[in-house]
Amino acid sequence: MSFQLHRNGQYIPCDLNKLREMARKGDLAQDEYVYDERVRTWVGASQIDEMKDAWNIGENEATVAMELSPEMLAMFDQQEAAPKAAAPAPVPMAPEPQRQSAPAPRAPEPKMVPMREEAPPPRSEPPRSDPPRSAGGGGFGGGRKSNRAHGTIEDPVMTTIKNAVCFILAILWTIKRYDEVNAFFGEKRFTWWHLLIPIWDLIVMWKFFNAIGEMAQLVGANVPNRAVVYLVGQFCTGGLLTFYLMQTDFNAIWEHMGAKKA
């Protein structure tokens, strides 16, 4: 654990042992602010649980701790531990008349450091994270999961029959699907009359078929990318299989985005 002291305009990192030693020597007042990194706030030194007994020492001990260095204390310990056998035995002396001794001078009390009234540094609040968005899943009718524009839901069987019976209805259906895809992406990606240009129409159809799979992936709808199936159905079934599968996949995407059946 670590703490910080704010002195002379600087932040001094300290651990618990250093704080207790400073309190023992009188270098740390009980009401001095200490920044406790465990709770990330400034508290009084005496408010730290491990520091409550740091100032509970005798007056003589506090005086010695302030006046004697650690080297001198170690030297005194070595002298006391030396053998006393070499010292000559003391000669008994005649008792002297008892004198009234003067009272021993009182050891000076340790000076208390006045509380430094310095405002603690401002605490910066952590940035608030945006609430997590719900991940898209499979299935229909899962609620609106995107702010993108969605199209209308139509019956795939009736769509295939009308497009097979009337070529004009097939063109109108295609134009409507291109407009819905452009509205979904918010830009004009596709132009329907490009289908009238030979060879270029194959490139446009391939990009449009892949865009359906991209739309499903963006909203999380359970729709596979069937661009190859669309293209094969366009040439092998005269577009009947493509009309049916495309309308089915569009319905799945629109329902997943929250669209209701007509």
Tokens of 227: 């661009």
Most confident of 99-103, 118-122, 147-151, 254-258: 254-258
Paired sense of beta strands 41-44 and 10-14, if any: unpaired
What are 207-232's pLDDT values in tens digits? Answer: 999 999 999 999 999 999 999 999 89
The better pLDDT of the pair 1, 211 is held by 211
* Residue-level pLDDT at 146: 61
Using the Cα atoms of residue 116, residue 118, residue 119 and residue 121 in order, give the sign of their dihedral.
negative
* Residue-level pLDDT at 173: 92
24 pLDDT higher than 60: yes
Minimum mean pLDDT among 132-141, 161-170, 172-181: which range?
Answer: 132-141
DSSP per-residue codes, 135-170: PP-SSS-------S-------HHHHHHHHHH-HHHH
* Residue-level pLDDT at 184: 94
Q: DSSP code of 101?
A: P
* Residue-level pLDDT at 137: 37
Q: How confident is the model at residue 139 (pLDDT cuts 50, 70, 90)?
A: very low
Residues 6 or more apart in contact with residue 249 via CB below 8 angstroms: 212, 216, 223, 226
* Residue-level pLDDT at 130: 44
The better pLDDT of the pair 60, 197 is held by 197
For the chain, which residues make up each domain, given as ranges? 3-76, 156-256
Q: Report how far residue 158's alpha carbon sits from residue 244's, in angstroms, rounded to the nearest whole number.
A: 9
